[in-house]
Amino acid sequence: MTDRLCFADPGEAADLAAFLGRLVHYDRAAAVRLQAGGGALAVFGRPPSFEVLAVRAVRLAEPAELDLTVSAGELLETIEESAATAKVPGAVTGPPWAGVLPPRGGWRPVSGVPEAEAMRAVVGAAVAEFRSRDEALPAEERTRSARDRIGREIWSRTLAGTELPLRAVHAAQSLGFLRPAASGPVAVAVLTSGSWLRLRTPYGSVVIRRPGGATGGLGALQVSPV
């Protein structure tokens, strides 16, 4: 097993550090599963607020073979952005999600997917609606369960033209996967494979499994950066 990672450039190291930092923001004890094959590394995490699987692909300068679950915080601490390297921490006992990853292949694109800018607008409108409805609750009814009920109703809606729930789009926005690009519009795609749905951007992917989906298809998304 590889014990040290050499990234293609400092930018790759910085992007991975930013991704890990966001995961740790949502869960200080977050774990990530690492899978490396050849010249790419796939990092899988599960931010608890969104009930999705987040995936960041990173280009490597040196081929590596790796498959283990580690502490996201410990990995973050070892990243040296200027040197574009990181030390692989010791393995931890993985959470249940780490053993059920999306399939490696068989992904088919979904048509009619809105552009990234439209997705950001949808998330913004949903957040504004939640705040408005939350503020409209009488003080005696503003309980955790009432607020959770509003959130579930809003974030379980689907993105126009797809089966993808808005919580997945919200997760992509919160993790920086839908951020604007200086070079022009961000290419986004929604793909499906069996019971899985995937929102893919150049910065990372958010993956969910439809309710009642079988646990088959263990493995991982193809780790080539896209």
We report the CATH number of the domain holding residue 53 as: 3.10.150
- Of the three residues 48, 80, 99, the one that is the final residue of a domain is 99
Q: How many domains is the chain partitioned into structurally?
A: 2
**Domain range spanning residue 46?**
4-99
Domain assignment present for 215: no
CB 166 within 8 A of CB 153: no
Residue 140: inside a domain, yes or no?
Answer: yes
Residues with Cβ within 8 Å of residue 130, at least 6 apart in sequence: 150, 151, 154
> Which of 75, 31, 80, 23 has its CA nearest to residue 49?
23
Rounded to whole angstroms, the Cα distance separating 165 from 154 reads 9
What is the pLDDT tens value at each position of the chain, 226 positions in all?
679 999 999 999 999 999 999 999 999 999 999 999 889 999 999 998 889 999 999 999 999 999 999 999 999 999 999 999 999 999 999 899 999 999 988 999 999 899 999 999 999 999 999 999 999 999 999 899 999 999 999 999 999 989 999 999 999 999 999 998 877 788 999 999 999 999 999 999 999 998 765 434 444 454 444 3
How many angstroms separate the CA atoms of 220 and 218, rounded?
Answer: 7
Indicate if 175 and 90 belong to the same structural domain: no
Domain-located, residue 67: yes
Is the domain of 122 the same as that of 205? yes
Is 70 inside any structural domain? yes
Query: Quick check: helix, strand or coil at residue 223?
Result: coil
Determine the 3-state secondary structure of 137 from DSSP. coil
The answer to whether residues 27 and 59 belong to one domain is yes
The single residue listed with the structure tokens 């490597």 is 60
> Do 18 and 35 sit in the same domain of this protein?
yes
- pTM for this predicted structure: 0.89
Angle, in degrees to the nearest 10, between helices 116-136 and 144-155: 150
Write down the residue that tokens 């839908």 correspond to: 178
| 181 and 147 co-located in one domain | yes
**12 lies in the same domain as 74:** yes
Q: Alpha carbon 92 to chain centroid distance? A: 20
In a domain, 56, yes or no: yes
Q: How distant is the alpha carbon of residue 19 from its chain centre?
A: 9
- The answer to the question of residue 220 being in a domain is no
Domain boundary among 76, 99, 122: 99
Domain-located, residue 193: yes
140 and 195 share one domain? yes
What is the distance between the alpha carbons of residues 72 and 26, in angstroms, rounded to a whole number? 11
